[in-house]
Amino acid sequence: MSGALQGLKVVDLSRVLGGPYCTQALADHGAQVIKLEPPSGDETRTWGPPFDGDTAWYFNGVNRNKLGISVDLSSEDGRAILWQLLEGADVLVENFKPGTLARWGMDFERDLHPRCPRLIHCAVSGFGPDGPLGGLPGYDAAIQAMAGLMSVNGERDGGPMRIGLPIVDMVTGLNALSGILLALAEREKSGRGQSIDIALYDCGVSLLHPHLPNYFGSGKVPQRSGNAHPNIAPYDSYQTGTAPIFLAVGNDRQFARLCTHIGAPELPDDPRFADNRSRCAHRPELKRALEAQLARFDCERLAHDLIHAGVPCGPVQTVDVVAAHPHTLHRQMVVHIDGYRGTGSPIKLSRTPATYRTAPPALGADTDAVLATLGIDPATRQRLFEAGVLKG
């Protein structure tokens, strides 16, 4: 095992997406992650099709490089095993309903910190432990609705729409990762662990850029704008002679290059299009003028030529095209481990890069081996398996 986090031991009690996404990133960079599931398993094992045997590929997407054990924490014997795991751990990640650990005698301030003073505890929840919505359950799509994301996503004349991927869960996982790394850095100075509170609701609200700043500055409630950016033009999907191209023109220099390339060098001299403020005020006219010229071009060829000319843009590609794209493969964003294929790490470290060592574990695949390393004798392990406390 190698990586920037080599030697770090993580106990992962989390399920579904936010927590597992975080702990997979830790594991990719060398941490030993022990994923503890209940005997019924992480529910995302059933979130298919497609399935890899009995396990959904949804689960496989965020659980590689982990040791998998199955322990019933509702039993005293199961919680005793968890205590043994924690006494040698650096990080605990969990997404139980707030108050669950306290009921088990594992409250951070009262129980965990005195017994494991260097332990970093990361709690992922829907709304946090307190406040008007504290302790209530939260799933990605519900938070997208409640945090305002759906209200600004969709066509201008359509209804609110869920973003087509679990953006809140994934950003929650990234914020959990950031919080853990911050706490580890602070521990180097203080020698003490701490608890990290990561709420999906907070993470959803934090994504409202530039909509919250626009609201703070204008007092106007942001509206849906389809593919168009609320603050920049041309920053939208435009029809070419073959397929839509997305133009992401961020400044006047790029706009001038675009217009020259498509045979309309006079457009930047038009007062309606002279700068971004003017272009935003005349979006319909700008779109008509650009699409009149773009109709002469093939989308793929145009996108290639424009981006090489310094104009940010791209064809609207489907997932299969992305997975096979030469640059995707060059950037090592597709991982192969035996029959497993997954998404690579976007974090590229020069000396200690991410490594991909093991495919996602079957439910309880490493239970016996991990408990043996804790010094639990074979007879005790067998008794716990027979009692249903363990599964493997």
Instruction: Please count the residues of the chain.
Output: 392
Residues that are catalytic: 169
Give the contacts of 386 (CB within 8 A, at least 6 positions apart): none
Q: How far apart are the first and last CA of the chain?
A: 24
SS3 sequence, the chain?
CCCCCCCCEEEECCCCCHHHHHHHHHHHCCCEEEEEECCCCCHHHHCCCCEECCEEHHHHCCCCCEEEEEECCCCHHHHHHHHHHHHCCCEEEECCCCCHHHHCCCCHHHHHHHHCCCCEEEEEECCCCCCCCCCCCCCHHHHHHHCCCHHHCCCCCCCCCCCCCCHHHHHHHHHHHHHHHHHHHHHHHHCCCCEEEEEHHHHHHHCCCCHHHHHHHHCCCCCCCCCCCCCCCCEEEEECCCCEEEEECCCHHHHHHHHHHCCCCCHHHCHHHCCHHHHHHCHHHHHHHHHHHHCCCCHHHHHHHHHHCCCCEEECCCHHHHHHCHHHHHCCCEEEECCEEEECCCCCCCCCCCCCCCCCCCCCCCHHHHHHHCCCCHHHHHHHHHCCCEEC
